[in-house]
Amino acid sequence: MTRWYSWLREQSGPEKFRLYSRLMLHGGIVGVVVAMSLVGGWIGQTVVLVVAGLAAAGAVEAQPELSSWPNTSYRRWASPVGAVVLTGVWLVSAFAFRSGTDEMVVDRARITGIFAALLAALSIIAFAQRKWWIILGVGTATGLVFSSSPEEALLTSVMVVLAGSLLIVTTMVTMWGPRIIDDLEHARELEADLQVAEERLRFARDLHDVVGRSFSAIAVKSDLAAALSRSGAVDRAAVEMDEVKSLAVQSMGEMRTLVRGYRDIGLDREVAGARSLLLAAGCRLVVEGDPDAVPARFHEVAAWVVREGTTNIVRHSSATLATLTLRGTGMTLRNNGVSGEPGGGSGLRGLTDRLTAVGATLDTTAYDDKFSLDIRWEAT
């Protein structure tokens, strides 16, 4: 008993509900077998009823929504075998009813035939595509075969059709639960997969934003140091290389912070970093306004805008002048030196996602050789 209890506790919620549904259907089959056996009262008839009940139970177990059997070959032959056994019981009962002379044998044959039709409705017909037409045909045939008069045939047909329809509805309602549970479980798995995919996209976006500016700065400052070294300004070249080293160390620190799941980014520091990076690239940055003018809850996303916007200026333009405007209602980053039509890369898409998450909007404008990022904190 303890082993079965432990096994039951290890099952998931959907598996427990599926087990409950199977027990409900098998309980219905057992109930019909017991009721018909009590009505019949003959040991031979009871054996036939039990065989038919086992065939019906096997057909129920063959249904994929209910079966706990890992062997799929069992499912392929269980339903046909169950249908053949129930049909055989029905035909034998029909032969005994039509050829029998003993009134008791005729009555038992009639009970057994009706029982086989009802069991078929519960375990076979309920899972068929045209179930209502089939139960109508089976009920009509049962009434015609197991009756001695037109009135009795009509009454038996109506009884079998109604009882069979009730059993079909019972099976459908019982099966509805496991199907809903399976759909919910599938939806839960899809939600988990979407959350994983969303987290991967977030991490890729953060990685792009963190590493992109640092690599751009390292590349620019390395080129500058090489040019200074070739021109004989060794001391200035050494200073630039020291900054390259500092940037590399800082980038590694930011990577570790990112991997730990934290974001350590400040607007003041990003503005200072942008000024240094653009200066090394030959671009002067003019800052209008003050970082304190930006609402506190938008400081982080504003810092990401400065970082990504600066990276794009270095990568995609030959700018000599950039202007960063910070306001209480938004911010703007403009630059010159743009050639061609700016593209919508992953950096801008990442910025759009960040801004949308905090209720802000991003607009880009390109005119002549200028490009502008315009952000409004409150979406209106």
Spatial distance between the Cα atoms of 112 and 109, rounded to a whole number of angstroms = 5
- Output the six-digit token pair for 138: 């089976």
Residue 181 clears pLDDT 80, i.e. is over it: no
Cα–Cα distance, 116 to 77 (Å, whole number): 19
Confidence band, pLDDT 50/70/90 cuts, at residue 326: very high
Average model confidence (pLDDT) across the chain = 79
Work out the pLDDT band at 380, boundaries 50, 70, 90: very low
Confidence of residue 161 (pLDDT cuts 50, 70, 90): very high
Q: Name 365's bridge partners.
A: 372
279-303: average pLDDT = 88
Please say if the pLDDT value at position 72 is more than 70: no
> What confidence tier does 39 reach under pLDDT thresholds 50, 70, 90?
low
- Contact indicator for 58, 171 with CB cutoff of 8 Å: no
Other CB atoms closer than 10 Å to residue 160's CB: what's the count?
Answer: 24
Going by pLDDT thresholds of 50, 70 and 90, the confidence category of residue 70 is low
Distance CA 2, CA 12 (A): 18
Question: What is the average pLDDT across 314-340?
Answer: 87
Structure tokens at 301: 């996303």
Q: pLDDT value at position 110? A: 85
Q: Which helix (H) or strand (E) holds 64?
A: none
How far is 132 from 141, CA to CA, in rounded Å?
A: 14
- The mean pLDDT value for 284-313 works out to 89
Q: Give the residue among 84, 96, 118 at the shortest CA–CA distance from 44.
A: 96
Position with higher pLDDT, 371 vs 245: 371
Residue % of the chain over a pLDDT of 70: 80
pLDDT tens digits for range 336-345: 988 665 555 5
Measured distance CA(28)–CA(347) in Å, rounded: 62
Do 121 and 168 contact (CB within 8 A), yes or no?
A: yes
What integer is the mean pLDDT of 65-74?
A: 60
Q: Average pLDDT for residues 74-78, to the nearest whole number? A: 69
d(CA 263, CA 255): 10
Q: Which two tokens stand for residue 240?
A: 């630039």
Q: What is the mean predicted confidence (pLDDT) over 153-160?
A: 90
* pLDDT tens column, 213-246: 777 778 888 888 888 888 888 888 888 888 888 8
341: which 2 tokens?
A: 């039509």
Gap between the Cα atoms of 127 and 22, Å rounded = 14
What is the spatial distance between Cα 250 and Cα 244, in angstroms, rounded to a whole number? 10
Question: According to the model, what pLDDT value does residue 73 have?
Answer: 62
50 CB burial (10 A radius; 0-12, 13-18, 19+) = middle
Work out the average pLDDT over 39-61.
Answer: 74
Could you read off the pLDDT of 344-358 as tens digits, one per residue? 556 678 788 888 888
> Which among 64, 55, 65, 69 has a CA at the least distance from the CA of 26?
55
**Cα→Cα distances 153→79, 191, 338, 365, Å:** 29, 56, 91, 84
Q: What is the DSSP string of 229-242?
A: HHTT-HHHHHHHHH
Task: Check whether 31 has a pLDDT greater than 90.
Answer: no
Q: What is the mean pLDDT of residues 302-319?
A: 85
Given pLDDT bands bounded at 50, 70 and 90, which one contains residue 335? Answer: very high
Domains and CATH numbers, the chain: 2-189 (no CATH), 194-376 (3.30.565.10)
Identify the helix (H) or strand (E) that includes residue 102: none
Residue 262's pLDDT is 47
Alpha helix segments (H runs only) across the chain:
2-10, 13-40, 43-61, 72-99, 103-123, 131-145, 150-230, 234-259, 267-280, 299-316, 346-357
Mean pLDDT is lowest, of 150-164, 210-224, 324-338, for 210-224
pLDDT above 80 for 361: yes
Helix 299-316 to helix 267-280 angle, to the nearest 10 degrees? 10
Residues 10, 27: contact at Cβ < 8 Å?
no
Residue 232 gets the label, from left (phi > 0), alpha (psi -120 to 50) or beta, of left
Would the pLDDT of 277 be above 90?
no
Six token digits for residue 323: 């202007």
Q: Please give the angle made by the CA atoms of 75, 79 and 83, to the nearest 5 degrees.
A: 165
**Is the pLDDT assigned to residue 69 strictly greater than 70?**
no
Average pLDDT over residues 142-158: 88
